[in-house]
C-alpha cells in the first residue's frame, strides 16, 4: 500500500522515472538541505535559526529558516520543490528523495487533496526554506491513507522552493511544461497523427476528477476530434512518445461559463498531468 501511494503521489507532484532525462534544476542550499534530507526529520529549530513565522486561521503555520530573494509564488505557477513530509514520531511518509529525484514540480491552485499545501506555498518565494505545520483537517483528514498515514494525522512539511519553472511553450493562453522527453522518439502529434496518453485532470475545486492511471484506460486523441477540450489539443501539438508534462488550460479554452456536468464548475481552469504513451500515424 505504501508503494502504491508513493507511485500515485509521484504522478501528482512529479513525473516518475523512466529512460528519459529530467530537466536540470538549481542546486539546493546545501547547509540547510543536508538537514532536510536525513533519514528522519530532525528538529532543526535548535540548529537553524527561525527567521519568520505566520499562522493562518485554518491552523496552517509556516516557519522560515531562510527567506529567498526570488519571486513570490502565485496561482498557476509551477514551483520546483525539494520537500519531505513527516507525521507524529518524525516518521517520513512522502518526499522526492524517496523516488531519487532532486526536485518535483507542483502547480499551484489544483491540489485540493491537501489544501494546507496551497495555503503554505502561496506565502513562499523562490529560495525560501521553510517548515510548515499542516493540521489534519488541512491534510488527509479523518480518512488518512491506509497503511501509511493514520486518520487525523497532522503533517510537518519541510520544503525548499528551487525555481518558478517557466512553461516550455505557450499557445493561446495554454501552458505546457515538459519535464522529461526521450530524444529517440521523433514522431510528433499533429494533424496527421494520433496520440495516446495517460493523465490526471484537476480543477481548483475538484482534484483528480479523471485519473486514467488508476483506471488503466488511456485517452486517445486526434486533432479532428470535435468533443475534446480545444486548449488540450493545442497544448499537445508536437508532443512525442514518453513526454511527461503538465498542461494548464484556461477556462476559455476548456468549458467556459457552461462548465462540464457536475465535475467542472463554470469558468474553471483545468490542469492535466500527462504521460504520452504513443504517437502513431493515421
In tens, the pLDDT along 50-73 reads: 899 999 999 999 999 999 999 999
Same-domain pairing of 201 and 260: yes
pLDDT digit string, tens, across residues 250-259? 999 999 999 9
Residue found by looking up cell 467556459 in the block: 256
Q: What is the pLDDT of residues 111-140, one digit of tens each?
A: 777 899 999 999 999 999 999 999 999 988
pLDDT above 90 as % of the chain: 66
The alpha helices in 100-220, defined as continuous H runs, are: 115-121, 212-215
Which tens digits make up the pLDDT trace of 221-249?
999 998 889 999 999 999 999 999 999 99
Tell me the C-alpha to C-alpha distance, in Å, between residue 206 and each of 33, 141, 203, 234: 33, 16, 5, 23
- Provide the residue range defining the domain that includes 218: 169-281
Quick one: which H or E segment has residue 21? strand 21-22
- Which of 187, 271, 193, 194 lies closest to 229 in space, CA to CA? 271
Closest CA to 155 of 64, 75, 59: 59
Most confident of 88-92, 137-141, 157-161, 173-177: 173-177
Cβ atoms of residues 240 and 181 within 8 Å: yes
Question: 161: which 3 cell numbers?
Answer: 522552493
- Per-residue model confidence (pLDDT) at position 1: 45
| CATH code (residue 21) | 3.10.50.40
Residues 75 and 19 placed together within one structural domain of the fold? yes
CA 44 – CA 33 distance, rounded (Å):
11
Residues 136, 32, single domain; the answer is yes
Write b or e for each residue in 114-123: b if 16 or more Cβ atoms lie within 10 A of its Cβ, otherwise e.
bbbbbbbbeb
Name the helix (H) or strand (E) containing 178. strand 174-181
Domains of the chain: total: 2
Residues 123 and 182 in one domain: no
- Between 51-65, 119-133, 147-161, 186-200, the lowest mean confidence (pLDDT) is in 147-161
Rg over CA atoms, the chain:
19
Task: Please tell me whether residues 139 and 249 are part of one structural domain.
Answer: no
Mean pLDDT of 149-174: 94
Residues 159 and 176 in one domain: no
Over residues 148-159, mean pLDDT: 90
DSSP state at residue 123: T
Last residue of a domain, one of 114, 146, 165: 165
| Dist CA 78 CA 225 (whole Å) | 29
What confidence tens digit (pLDDT) does each residue in 67-115 have? Answer: 999 999 999 999 999 999 988 877 888 888 888 888 999 999 997 778 9
pLDDT tens, residue by residue, 9-46:
444 444 333 333 223 334 455 555 555 554 334 444 44
Residue 205: pLDDT band (50, 70, 90) is: very high
Mark which of 165, 181, 200 sits at the end of a domain. 165
Amino acid at each position: 500500500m505504501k508503494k502504491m501511494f508513493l507511485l500515485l503521489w509521484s504522478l501528482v507532484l512529479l513525473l516518475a522515472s523512466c529512460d528519459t532525462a529530467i530537466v536540470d534544476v538549481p542546486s539546493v542550499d546545501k547547509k540547510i538541505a543536508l538537514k532536510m534530507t536525513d533519514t528522519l526529520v530532525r528538529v532543526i529549530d535548535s540548529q537553524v535559526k527561525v527567521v519568520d513565522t505566520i499562522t493562518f486561521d485554518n491552523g496552517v503555520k509556516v516557519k522560515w529558516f531562510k527567506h529567498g530573494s526570488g519571486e513570490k509564488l502565485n496561482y498557476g505557477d509551477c514551483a520546483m520543490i525539494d520537500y519531505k513530509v513527516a507525521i507524529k514520531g518524525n516518521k517520513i511518509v512522502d518526499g522526492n528523495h524517496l523516488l531519487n529525484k532532486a526536485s518535483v514540480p507542483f502547480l499551484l491552485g489544483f491540489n485540493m487533496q491537501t489544501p494546507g499545501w496551497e495555503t503554505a506555498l502561496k506565502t513562499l518565494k523562490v529560495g525560501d526554506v521553510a517548515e510548515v505545520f499542516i493540521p489534519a483537517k488541512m491534510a488527509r483528514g479523518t480518512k488518512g491513507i491506509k497503511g501509511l498515514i493514520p486518520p487525523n494525522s497532522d503533517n510537518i512539511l519541510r520544503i525548499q522552493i528551487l525555481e518558478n519553472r517557466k512553461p516550455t511553450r505557450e499557445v493561446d493562453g495554454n501552458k505546457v511544461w515538459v519535464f522529461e522527453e526521450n530524444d529517440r522518439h521523433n514522431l510528433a502529434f499533429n494533424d496527421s497523427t494520433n496520440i495516446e496518453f495517460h493523465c490526471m485532470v484537476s480543477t481548483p475545486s475538484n482534484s483528480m476528477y479523471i485519473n486514467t492511471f488508476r483506471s488503466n484506460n488511456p485517452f486517445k486523441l486526434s486533432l479532428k476530434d470535435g468533443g475534446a477540450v480545444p486548449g488540450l489539443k493545442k497544448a499537445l501539438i508536437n508532443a512525442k512518445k514518453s513526454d511527461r508534462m503538465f498542461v494548464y488550460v484556461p477556462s476559455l479554452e476548456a468549458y467556459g461559463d457552461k462548465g462540464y456536468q457536475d465535475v467542472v464548475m463554470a469558468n474553471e481552469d483545468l490542469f492535466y498531468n500527462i504521460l504520452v504513451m504513443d504517437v502513431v500515424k493515421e
